[in-house]
Amino acid sequence: MNKTVNQKAWFLVLPVLILVGFSAVIPLMTVVNYSVQDTFGNNVFFWAGLDWFRDMLESERMWNALGRQLVFSSIILAIEVPLGIFVALNMPKKGFWASFCLVLMSLPLLIPWNVVGTIWQIFGRVDIGLLGYVLAKLGVNYNYTQNVIDAWATVIIMDVWHWTSLVALLAYAGLQSIPDAYYQAAKIDQASRWKVFRFIELPKMAGVLMIAILLRFMDSFMIYTEPFVVTGGGPGNATTFLSIDLVKMALGQFDLGPAAAFSLMYFLVILLISWVFYTVMTNLDKRDGV
Amino acid sequence: MSDATTSAPGAASIPGDVSAAEPRARSRRRFRPNGSMIVMALYLLFLMLPIYWLLNMSLKTNAEILSGFSLWPRNLTLANYEKILTDPSWYMGYVNSIIYVTMNTVISISVALPAAYAFSRYSFMGDKHLFFWLLTNRMAPPAVFALPFFQLYSSVGLFDTHIAVALAHTLFNVPLAVWILEGFMRGVPREIDETAYIDGYSFPKFFVKIFMPLIASGIGVAAFFCFMFSWVELLLSRTLTSVDAKPIAATMTRTVSASGLDWGVLAAAGVLTILPGALVIWFVRNYIAKGFALGRV
């Protein structure tokens, strides 16, 4: 779409700029400020240069948290994306049942994140939760507060429960945009179900799926509330992901300098992924827009 | 030719199903389970079970929860809900949440509308960078902003007020609203704007009288998503409040750590937080994918 050049459009954007500037730029500058200074309390600060960044890069704690985070994000992507596509392929195409499925599938997406945590905290308890109780009856020694593997499994299943529908809904939206003529052509060519998926559905879904993958990666990368409510980062540090570790450091121990350096590096990673996201989005817009 | 084929009956279903089935035979067989239905039933069961369990617990007394295991409440009780709805320290949590969420939605939508219009209609210096910068704020981890927000709002004397949380949530909701609204606005043909200007409408009058009704569904969807994302967020709202503006989410976490026993009330509080989403979900069902994908599906 060709837009007219109009510099006065800046005035329309100005309110957003001021508001987001206030709630993003000022706090971010505070973080930058802390990341290069040290303090002995009493609001006396002195220049520390890049020491905090060096410290954080050498700190095992941050690398461990980052490692856990990457493992977590890859696992949930590996589960949610194929499962989401599979569910989308099996959804009814139209009518009452399509709406019915849409509504029920969207429900977990709209639950407050701490309530998601609470739901699974209760659901997994051996004494009063359905999942924990059934597992205990089956003779599985399941305890998400003590056992590392169980804690991970609970957090992962919880995330799959919470967010697979998002992938499914996006994939479904991609599927809906395929004209029937494509399927009829495939039928005339006697294409197999797999070939229809591989050569018609998958390419048509590719753009939307890319968005879904990036969204899931971003949101899992900054996950905080759900695992915090369920496991509190434990047992030990087993489920302490980046955000949980950061909040512990900044608000719990008030280690402002390291926390700020940590924040900035965290933010740079996010910035990089956002850029990939943006490129995908704009390419998609171009393809659809013309 | 393509017109004739696209309107063929039964064409909407996936190819695996179409093969042998006549339309009439299909409608008779509709209630016989096939693979897809089983998959969907299992998936929906997986989604609903934990929610059902929460509902189940909220309708039991604490004694019943702890004494034994039952798939449904034996002595149905509404006492847990009664406690929440009569105890100010509980229900004020909901009131606080609703206040700041509403404030946030109004602020976000009203500043996002003109900006989205600018992005969808004009190109200007730095527009692409600005649009990208907005996106990075939607993607920013709240954990990074928790401490600076706490200090910023404390220093301007807004700590523990509704407006502080509402402003903090604009960090991710304004970009979200701009992106969603821009997605809807690009679907409105530019000729409408031009015709209106030729007819002598001024920009504000055109925007309110003609343009906003045209994208009413878009505004509804954007408002819904602002509401939702502000409603589900806990980290920032908890950090920025202590007593007067404490959201229901924080009230819930505190109860867990303090007593750790009042499961029935906790479950009832959880059920009540799901309600706002569940109530409006039917109206936005066709836009949920679009909203989560920032208006880009």
Tens of pLDDT, residues B130-158: 888 888 888 888 888 888 888 888 888 88
Residue tagged 């989604």 (tokens): B47
* Residue A216: closest CA among A72, A43, A93: A72
Please give the mean pLDDT across all residues of chain A.
Answer: 85
Query: What's the confidence (pLDDT) of residue A44?
Result: 67
Length of chain A counted residue by residue: 290
Q: What is the pLDDT of residue B294?
A: 79
Residues in B closer than 8 angstroms to A12, CB to CB, are 114-115, 117-118
pLDDT of residue B108: 95
Query: What separation in angstroms does the CA of A48 have from each of A53, A243, A254?
Result: 10, 24, 17
For residue B91, pLDDT over 50 is answered with yes
Read off the tokens for B185: 């606005």
User: Does residue B174 belong to the interface with chain A, where contact is any CB pair within 8 Å?
Assistant: yes
Cα B40–chain centre separation: 23
pLDDT-wise least confident of A55-59, B29-33, B97-101, B219-223: B29-33
Compute CA distances B94 → A103, B165, B217, whole Å.
24, 14, 27
C-beta neighbour count of A275 within 10 angstroms: 13
3-class secondary-structure state, position A102: helix
CATH match for A59-289 among 3.20.20.70, 3.40.50.300, 1.10.3720.10, 3.30.1060.10: 1.10.3720.10
* pLDDT higher than 80, residue A289: no
| Residues forming a β-bridge with B122 | A4
Partners of residue A263 in chain B, C-beta under 8 Å: 143-144
* pTM of the entire predicted model: 0.84
Domain ranges across chain B: 2-67, 79-294
Asked if B292 is an interface residue toward chain A (Cβ–Cβ < 8 A), one would say yes
* Strongest mean pLDDT among A83-92, A212-221, B150-159, B273-282: A83-92
Averaged pLDDT, A89-94: 88
- Find, among A6, A68, A78, the residue nearest to A246 by Cα: A68
Closest CA to A97 of B52, B283, B44, B99: B44
Q: Which of B54-58, B71-75, B285-289 has the highest mean pLDDT?
A: B54-58
For the segment B93-118, what is each residue's pLDDT rounded down to a tens digit? 899 999 999 999 999 999 999 999 99
**By three-state DSSP, how is residue B10 classified?**
coil
Residues of A in contact with B8 (CB under 8 A): 180, 184
Please give the pLDDT value at position A26.
86
Q: How buried is A235 (Cβ within 10 angstroms: 0-12 exposed, 13-18 middle, 19+ buried)?
A: middle
3-state secondary structure B198-218: HCCCCHHHHHHHHHHHHCHHH
A252 contacts on B by Cβ (under 8 Å): none
Query: What burial letters (b/e) apply to B224-258, b meaning 16+ CB within 10 Å?
Result: bbbbbbbbbbbbbbbbbbeeebbbbbbbbbebbee
Residue found under tokens 């329309």: A12
Q: Domain B79-294: state its class.
A: mainly alpha
> Which pLDDT score is estimated for A177?
84
Of the listed ranges A101-115, A220-234, A247-261, B130-144, the one predicted with least confidence: A247-261
pLDDT at A290 over 80: no
User: What is the SS3 assignment for A37?
Assistant: strand
Residues of A in contact with B44 (CB under 8 A): 101, 104-105
Residue B69 Cα, gap to closest chain A Cα (Å):
7
Answer whether B141 touches A (CB < 8 Å): yes
The complex's ipTM?
A: 0.84
Residue-level pLDDT at B254: 63
Confidence category of residue B30, pLDDT binned at 50, 70, 90: low
Does the distance separating the beta carbons of B142 and A256 come in below 8 Å?
no
What are A68's two structure tokens? 């856990």
A42 CA: distance to closest CA in chain B (Å): 15
The residue in chain B having the minimum alpha-carbon distance to the alpha carbon of residue A284 is: B296
Closest CA to B295 of B168, B134, B107: B134
CA–CA distance, A122 with A281 (Å, rounded to integer): 39
> With contacts defined as CB-CB under 8 Å, which chain B residues touch A174?
297
Question: pLDDT tens digit string along B209-260?
Answer: 999 999 998 999 899 989 988 998 888 888 888 888 888 877 876 655 455 5
For residues A195 and B31, the model is more confident at: A195
Distance separating alpha carbons of residues A206 and A85, to the nearest angstrom: 11
3-state secondary structure of B161: coil
Residue A71 pLDDT exceeds 90: yes
Q: Would the pLDDT of A12 be above 70? A: yes
Q: Choose between B75 and B202: higher pLDDT.
A: B202
The pLDDT of residue B7 is 41
Q: How large is the average pLDDT for residues A85-108?
A: 90
Q: State which residue of chain A sits closest to B7, comparing Cα positions.
A: A180
Written as one letter, the residue type at B291 is: G
Whether residue A13 has pLDDT greater than 80:
yes
Q: A159 falls in which pLDDT band (50, 70, 90)? A: very high
CA–CA min distance B12, chain A (Å)? 6
Indicate which of B34, B117, B139 best probes the interface with A, i.e. most A CBs within 10 Å of its own CB.
Answer: B139
**In 3-state terms, what secondary structure has residue B187?**
coil
Please give the backbone phi and psi of residue B284, each rounded to the nearest 5 degrees, phi first. Answer: -105, 10
Task: Report the alpha-carbon distance of residue B216 to residue B222 in Å, rounded.
Answer: 10
Mean local confidence (pLDDT), A203-207: 84
pLDDT, greater one: B295 or B50: B50
* pLDDT bucket at A137, cuts 50 / 70 / 90: confident
Which of A232-236, A258-262, B89-93 bottoms out in mean pLDDT, i.e. has the lowest?
Answer: A232-236
Average pLDDT, chain B: 82
Domain segments of chain A: what residues? 59-289
Q: Would you call B278 and A110 a contact, using CB atoms and an 8 Å cutoff? A: yes
Q: Provide, rounded to the nearest whole percent, the portion of chain B with pLDDT above 90.
A: 24
Under the banding of pLDDT at 50, 70 and 90, the label for residue A76 is: very high
B42/A238: higher pLDDT: B42
Using H for helix, E for strand and C for coil, what is the string for A38-50? EECCCCCEEECCC
Backbone conformation region of residue B241, classed left if phi is above 0, alpha if psi is from -120 to 50, else beta: beta
Lowest average pLDDT, out of A243-252, A279-288, B183-192, goes to A279-288
pLDDT at B66: 75
Q: Do A10 and B124 touch (CB under 8 A)?
A: yes
Per-residue model confidence (pLDDT) at position B33: 64
Chain A closest CA to B140's CA: distance in Å? 7
pLDDT category, A40, cuts 50, 70, 90? low
For range B157-186, the mean pLDDT? 91
Q: What confidence tier does A158 reach under pLDDT thresholds 50, 70, 90?
A: very high
| Chain A residues closer than 8 Å to B47 by CB | 104-105, 107-108, 161, 165
Does residue B204 surpass a pLDDT of 80? yes
